[in-house]
């Protein structure tokens, strides 16, 4: 079809509308007289009509001009245009009726038009004008359609979001989508229709995909039931159906979103769990009006915590990190907030720099997220793990006590449980130090411990994504390896909740859900990219890295958990720490100067007896 590249001249639209009105008037007369063409009747009616026809056109022209009927782009006719046409046609009828009464009482006793004709004419004019516009619109949309074969599409969710998705797709025919059906979890809707499209229960999804050669499914439920969503996603992945999602409702503009915002679903969406419910009031009471320091503020978890804290009205928010560029980006992102920000470039290992920070800003609350986290790198650089993860934490803990910080919330890791690597052991020693110092002053030291965070720096997700984009192979260390996963928002929310409920000395453990096989994660990410394992992308097994273990734990064998008021946060009942470990930790830190990895790791094993190295050069220390 020929595409409409230029706007139709306004005078043509006016002329067409007047012509349609004329047809509507004739149609009204024909209906009034039962489609009879009696010559005497025609002559009689024409006598009255001939004196009214000029007024008829004059009123139409004036009213249509006032309501700007000719201004709308015909090929983009909307509900607003329909409303404007309806008001204009109704106004014309009211004017005709009013002028008819004037004519009856002051002139020749004739109405301009019979009342029945006025009603029929208004109805017909409205239908003709709307019909003509939608005919042009459909013609235009067809002219834009791609010459490629239409893709059969399902929309998951028959609510408001699903309806908006349907309309968005139909408004952008360049998508070349054909909506086969809505899929919904509500059994009562099964067999019904929404704007002409059938609604099918999700239990019939497999059959629906097979029978209709479905290529795409768009998730249009803002907060779907996790079990139902997993069922839908698994059905799609097994049938090589591309899964997409509509944007979050917060990003819609005036209740609408663009077709460009419909994006492929990502792995975080598949691994997310039920929404976390926070005690917002308690958190706000803890942080409102306080000076809050976040270390490692430019990192994945640190920046996530910062973004949450700004919602609780702190008096001042101090962002500390040594990563200059990332910290600058975070500062720019937060410029529009009303919170007073202080951006500090500094290293937690530098006691004098940290002392100056505490002395100048006097924080009431500290969230300690700064740490080295990469297992293989720390396995090769134990002295740096000691200097940052242990000595850096010690600096902050000691200064928090000296400056009477109200609460210190430390971000730890599941790798601190029965550690098999230097990184995990260094975090466990940092936990021990904070616990031992808990009752030495007013500061309450709280530790939060959780597993891998999806999308964080060093997470397997960005690595897999990069490998997929480069054509593979996707590298997995072992087919048996499993990990617990949590999204960044989930982790940050639970850190704030645990921090608010902590009374000092606790280690809070987060419900990480079920562990996930990394190789299954790789398969899903490849499938979500529209590729096939073994054909488009290979998966390569590389072997465990130094210090890596097959399965992560959240609690040590000597520990058990106590439930809290929050179903996703448990409190570890820890073994009692002995003060002699403080001396051992100080001795460990002094070993940094020697730069002797064997000596350093040996001392770490003395402090943490359950530290048994795995797949590492330090295994020989355990043998002795």
Strand partners, 412: 449
Tokens for 108, please give them.
């020749």
Q: 539: how many CB neighbours lie within 10 A of its CB?
A: 18
Distances in whole angstroms, Cα of residue 438 to Cα of each of 26, 358, 503:
92, 18, 10
Q: Which residue has the tokens 């024409």?
A: 46
Pick the catalytic residue from 415, 427, 524, 603.
415
How far is residue 166's CA from residue 154's CA, in Å, rounded to a whole number? 10
Specify whether the CB–CB gap between 162 and 134 falls below 8 A: no
269-286 burial code (b ≥16 CB/10 A, e <16): bbbbeeebebeeeebbeb
Tokens for 616, please give them.
């590492």
How far is residue 273's CA from residue 567's CA, in Å, rounded to a whole number? 13
Q: Is 199 helix (H, G, I), strand (E, B) or coil?
A: strand
Q: Which of 331, 294, 339, 344 is nearest to 312 (CA)?
A: 339
* Angle made by CA atoms 516, 522, 525, in degrees to the nearest 5: 105
Q: Is 415 a catalytic residue?
A: yes
Task: Give the CA diameter of the chain.
Answer: 122
Give the pairing type, strands 516-517 and 482-483.
antiparallel
How far is residue 128's CA from residue 240's CA, in Å, rounded to a whole number? 46
Helices 460-469 + 518-528 axis angle, to 10 = 40
How far is residue 291's CA from residue 270's CA, in Å, rounded to a whole number? 37
281: region left, alpha or beta (phi > 0 left; psi from -120 to 50 alpha): alpha
* Sheet containing strand 316-321, strands side by side: 341-345, 316-321, 291-295, 365-368, 407-413, 444-450, 507-510, 569-573, 560-563
Specify whether the CB–CB gap between 478 and 294 falls below 8 A: no
Just list the catalytic residues: 415
């Amino acid at each position: 079809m020929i595409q409409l590249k230029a706007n139709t001249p306004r005078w043509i639209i006016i002329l067409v509308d007047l012509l349609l009105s004329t047809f509507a008037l004739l149609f009204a007369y024909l209906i009034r007289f039962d489609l009879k063409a009696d010559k005497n009747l025609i002559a009689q009616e024409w006598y009255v009509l001939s004196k009214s026809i000029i007024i008829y056109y004059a009123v139409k022209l004036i009213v249509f001009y006032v309501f700007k009927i000719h201004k709308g782009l015909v090929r983009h006719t909307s509900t607003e245009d329909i409303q404007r046409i309806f008001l204009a046609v109704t106004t014309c009828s009211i004017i005709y009726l009013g002028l008819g009464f004037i004519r009856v009482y002051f002139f020749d006793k004739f109405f301009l038009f019979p009342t029945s004709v006025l009603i029929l004419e208004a109805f017909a004019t409205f239908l003709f004008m709307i019909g003509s516009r939608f005919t042009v619109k459909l013609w235009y949309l067809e002219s834009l359609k791609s010459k490629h074969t239409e893709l059969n599409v399902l929309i998951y969710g028959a609510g408001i979001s699903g309806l908006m998705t349907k309309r968005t797709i139909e408004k952008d025919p360049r998508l070349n989508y054909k909506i086969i059906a809505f899929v919904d979890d509500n059994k009562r809707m099964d067999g019904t229709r929404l704007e002409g499209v059938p609604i099918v229960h999700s239990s019939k999804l497999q059959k629906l995909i097979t029978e209709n050669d479905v290529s795409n499914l768009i998730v249009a439920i803002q907060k779907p039931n996790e079990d139902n969503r997993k069922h839908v996603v698994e059905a799609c992945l097994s049938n090589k159906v591309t899964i997409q999602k509509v944007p979050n409702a917060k990003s819609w503009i005036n209740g609408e979103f663009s077709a460009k915002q419909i994006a492929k679903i990502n792995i975080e969406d598949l691994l997310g769990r039920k929404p976390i419910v926070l005690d917002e009031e308690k958190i706000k009471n803890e942080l409102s009006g306080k000076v809050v320091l976040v270390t490692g503020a430019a990192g994945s978890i640190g920046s996530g915590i910062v973004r949450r804290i700004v919602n609780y009205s702190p008096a001042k928010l101090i962002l500390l990190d040594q990563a200059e560029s990332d910290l600058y980006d975070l500062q720019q992102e937060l410029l529009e907030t009303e919170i007073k920000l202080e951006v500090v470039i500094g290293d937690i290992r530098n006691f004098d720099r940290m002392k100056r920070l505490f002395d100048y800003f006097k924080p009431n609350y500290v969230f300690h997220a700064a740490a080295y986290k990469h297992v293989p790198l720390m396995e090769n650089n134990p002295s740096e793990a000691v200097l940052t993860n242990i000595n850096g934490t010690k600096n902050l803990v000691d200064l928090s006590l000296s400056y009477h910080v109200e609460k210190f919330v430390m971000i730890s890791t599941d790798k601190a449980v029965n550690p098999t690597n230097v990184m995990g052991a260094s975090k466990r020693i940092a936990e021990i130090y904070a616990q031992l110092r808990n009752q030495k002053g007013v500061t309450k030291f709280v530790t939060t411990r959780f597993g891998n965070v999806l999308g964080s720096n060093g997470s397997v997700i960005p690595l897999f994504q990069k490998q997929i984009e480069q054509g593979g192979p996707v590298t997995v260390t072992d087919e048996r390896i499993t990990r617990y996963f949590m999204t960044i928002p989930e982790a940050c929310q639970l850190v704030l909740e645990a921090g608010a409920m902590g009374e000092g000395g606790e280690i809070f453990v987060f419900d990480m859900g079920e562990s996930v096989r990394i190789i299954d994660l790789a398969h899903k990410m490849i499938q979500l990219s529209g590729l096939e394992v073994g054909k488009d992308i290979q998966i390569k097994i590389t072997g465990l890295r130094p210090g890596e273990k097959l399965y992560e734990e959240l609690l040590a064998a000597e520990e058990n958990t106590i439930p809290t008021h929050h179903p996703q946060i448990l409190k570890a009942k820890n073994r009692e720490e002995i003060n002699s470990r403080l001396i051992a930790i100080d001795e460990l830190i002094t070993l940094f100067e020697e730069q002797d990895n064997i000596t350093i790791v040996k001392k770490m094993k003395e402090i943490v007896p359950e530290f048994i190295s795995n797949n590492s050069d330090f295994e020989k220390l355990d043998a002795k």
